[in-house]
Structures are given as structure tokens and as C-alpha cells.
Amino acid sequence: MNRSLSIVRLGFMCGIALSALGARTAAAQDNPTGDPVIARIYDIGMHHSQAAELGEVLMDSIGPRLTGSPANRAANDWLVRTYTAWGIPAHNEKYGTWRDWTRGQSRVELVAPHAKTMEATMLAWSPATPTGGTTGEVVMLPHATDSASFNAWLSTVRGKFVLVSYPQPTCRPDTDWKAWASPAIYAAMAAARDSDMARWRALLAGAGVNTRTLTPLLEKAGAAGLLSNRWSEGWGVDKIFSASSLILPSFDVGCEDYGTLARLAEHNQHPRVHAVAEATLAPTEGPVYNTVAEVKGSAHPDEYVMLSAHLDSWDGGTGATDNGTGTITMLEAMRILRQAYPNPKRTILAGHWSGEEEGDIGSGAFAADHPEILSGLQALFNQDNGTGEVDTVQTNGFVDAAPYLAKWMSRMPADITNAITLMVPGVAHDESTDSDAFDCRNAPAFFLTSSDWSYGIYTWHTNRDTYDKISWANVERNATLIAMFAYEASEDPGRIPNVRRVPPTDARTGQAMQVPQCGTPPRSFAESQTRRRR
């Protein structure tokens, strides 16, 4: 996902909780309609899952899948080979080009006043250091009161590494402070931190710079590199995004080590680091693809049920819960369907999107390029927020969708639907996930959100988003749920109407909620950067 997901149940939403029909331990035999296909889907998905094995290949072997990287294309190709081996037609569909960047080894070593290998990660699309690395002093931004004094400081940074983020006074999570400190001590710490952050923002404002204009100034001044920190507010975890520099090697330094460098620099102890960033940037942009698998419908081949998840990831970790889990859920659901329901009435598609982390570009391009699928779409099921079991189905303002979804879930075993909340009628929204690219074009796409599992702090876009954080029992259940949804949606003689809810009044503003509008997806990295600079 592009940003942290939180489900806000505003006053104009209502939830329908589908209660358990029986105990979880007994639900394996629960088949409300006695449907043999449901029984077969359950058996394959829950007792013969291949999710963990498939996930090991995707996360450990292929690894992170930054949009435009060779690993991203390797994942596309792996999906095609895997689907083909199962007898499911699949292809890679090019939708544009992107900046082709390959991560190599990177490290930051403190060499003075003492030696230490620091926890640091080169940011995505960072330029490389010269062969062998670069050594230089680490400096803080100055306490400049105006642009003249800031410009005077700029003349001193040549060959130095600059700390460009606010240094956290404590890397102990607030939850731990609250657990162990007295209320007065916690309040004092938080107040001091808030005051310190305000001074940091004032420092930038006083110098006449902001986060967008600072990097070009440091590049022009000849700095050796940029050191930043984006703490995720948990133990030892940072958000790892992209470099802002086109010239300077850029690193995220872990919260604790970043604080050490900041204190050393602030107290005039002249810390020095040796930094190595190995990266390869192709001379031209390379192709980017969506991978699409298809099982043709036997009765209504021009009507579609679609499974949706994004394949790309940020690459501080290995993209395990954002969105390796969603990718494997849809892949595994298609494998289950191939065995349990090989001749669907409607065409079943699986879309594995690239470019989601850059703004739903791959799914947006697909939706723009395939109006025939939009017009024939029965339902799209998208999952994109971690390893928890699906606990909410968002109907996204399609006012007639709930009866269909509720009917389909009522035919599933209780341990598959237990405690799922159906959000009705919901509202059109923009959670920066791939179902949005279809919803905004009035095609019924539903977002299946998962229980939290500390996703926002510990794995969403972080250096800790790795295979070991996955609960495979939940992924297996989710894949089984998705396969059952696809089966029921394919078999249902009715079509979900695409009537949308008239946007209600937002109680916070008193104004009608704005329905997100479809954008025109950029088809190249250069185009995306041009738009960003406008």
C-alpha cells in the first residue's frame, strides 16, 4: 500500500457482522448448502496449501520487487511460469517504462571517534558512491536564523555527510514509555519532544528551505551524501522509501545510530563515517508489466470475476506483508480454483499489479486499457494490508453489493467467514490501493482489509517486512475465502449493479464527501517526475 491503512467507521456507515455459525474447531464440516465445490475448495485450501512454499520463492529467492527493477520483472516471469505449470494461461502485459535500478551492497561505518558498523540502508534509486566508498565528516543542519547564514553554512559542507532528518530524542516506543513511566514522566518526555520537533521545523523555515528544496542545495554545495531517518515508532524499525537526490548517495540510518551521529555532531565531536553504496542505474528506462492470469468462462466469457493484489514493493525489506501476502493469496486462490472449479461460468482473472507503490499505476493503466473488462466486471476482490485474516469487506459505496456479498458468505463454512464485517453501504474512498483504480471507473471492486498485526508500525514499508513476519495460517484462510468468493460470484445468475452511493455529508466538515476521481496513470518514470514537480 501507499500509505498506512486505518478503517474509520464514521457515523454514516453501518456494519453488518456475520456471526459464527459454529465453533471454529468444528467448522471444517460446516457446509451450509452441502455444495461439493465449496467442500473441495475448503479441503485444498485449508489442508493442502502451497502458500508458504510459494511465498518462500517470492520473498526469499526473488526478494524485494521495486517497480522497474530486474527483481520486479523476475517476479512477473515467475508468476507466468507458475501459472503455466498449473495449466492456467497467464501473460505479462506491458503498460509503460520505469527507472531501471538494481540494488547492490550498502553500509555505513562510523570510523571516528570510535569504530562501529551502523544499521543503515541505501534508499531506493540512490546514486552509488565511488568504487570503494566515501569517507567524510557528519554534520547537522545549522541553527541558521536567515537564508544568508544558511548559505554561509552551505559553503562548508563540501565532502561531508549531512544529517537531514529530525533526530529522535528516544527510540523507545511510546507504548513502552506509557507502560513503565509515570504519567508525569511520560508527559514531560512527550512535551519536550514536541517542542524539539517544533524547533527543528522552525530551523528549516528560518533558513528559507523545506524538505523539497534542501536536497538540490546540498547537491550544488558538493556534499558527500545524505543521511536520514524515518523512524516507524517501533523497536528497531524504519520506513524505507526512495532517495530524494539525483546525485548524492542517500541512506536511512537506524533511529539509534542516527541519534548517535546527531549527538556527536551537535557536541562538536566531529564524527566521521565511511559509506558504501553499490547500485546500478540503467542508461534508459526499462519496461514494466502487470501479470494477468485468466480462466475463460464457459457460459459468460465476457463477464469477469477478478482477484487483485500488487506485486511490486518497496525494498527496505522483502515486501512480505506489502504485498507479498496479497500476491500469494491470489496466486494460491487461483491454484485452488483450478483444481476445484476448472470450468467457471464467468471468466476469472487474477491481476498482479506493478507500480502500486508509485500511485496505483499498473492497475490504473490496466483499467484504462480494458473498458471491456470494466463493463463486464461482476466483482473484483483486492487485498493489500498485511498478514492478518480478512476481517472486513468494504463495499466502497456500491449500494446494491451487500446482499450479494452477504449471500455468498452465508454459503461458506463458519471458520472462513467468522467475524468478517461487511461495511454497508460504504463510501467511495481512496486508500491508495489497487481496487481504487476500478472503483473510480464505476466497476464494482471491493477491498478486503485484514486484522492489524502491527502492520502500520512494524511491517508497512519497513526494513522488517520479511518472510518471518507472515502468519501462514491466515494466508491459507484468506486464499480459501477468496477462492470461495470467486466461485460464488462466477455462479451467481445475477449481476452486481454498479449504482453508487450519493456522497453523504462528512460530519467533521459539514460538506458532502468528495468521490475520488480517476487520474490518467503516468506511463513512464520521467512523466511521473514531471507531474510531481508541477
Q: Is 400 helix (H, G, I), strand (E, B) or coil?
A: coil
* pLDDT score, position 437: 95
b/e per residue 234-249 (b: at least 16 CB within 10 A): beebbbbbbbbbebbb
Grid-cell match 517501533, residue found: 234
* b/e map 136-150, b = 16+ CB within 10 Å: bbbbbbbebeeeeeb
Closest by CA to 425, choosing from 504, 507, 508, is 504
The confidence score (pLDDT) of residue 15 equals 43
**10-residue stretch averages of pLDDT, the chain, 534 residues long:** 41 38 47 96 98 98 96 98 98 96 96 98 97 97 89 96 97 97 98 95 88 93 98 97 95 98 98 97 94 98 98 97 98 98 98 96 97 98 96 95 97 94 84 92 96 97 98 98 98 96 86 84 91 70
pLDDT given at position 280:
94
Instruction: Determine the Cα–Cα distance for residues 417 and 19; give it in Å rounded to an integer.
Output: 8
Answer whether CATH 3.50.30.30 is correct for domain 102-281.
yes
Q: What is the pLDDT of residue 517?
A: 84
What is the third-level CATH fold of 17-100+285-491?
A: Aminopeptidase (3.40.630)
Residue-range domain boundaries for the chain: 17-100+285-491, 102-281
Q: Which amino acid, residue 277?
A: A
Q: Give the per-residue pLDDT at 534.
A: 63
Residue positions counted in the chain: 534
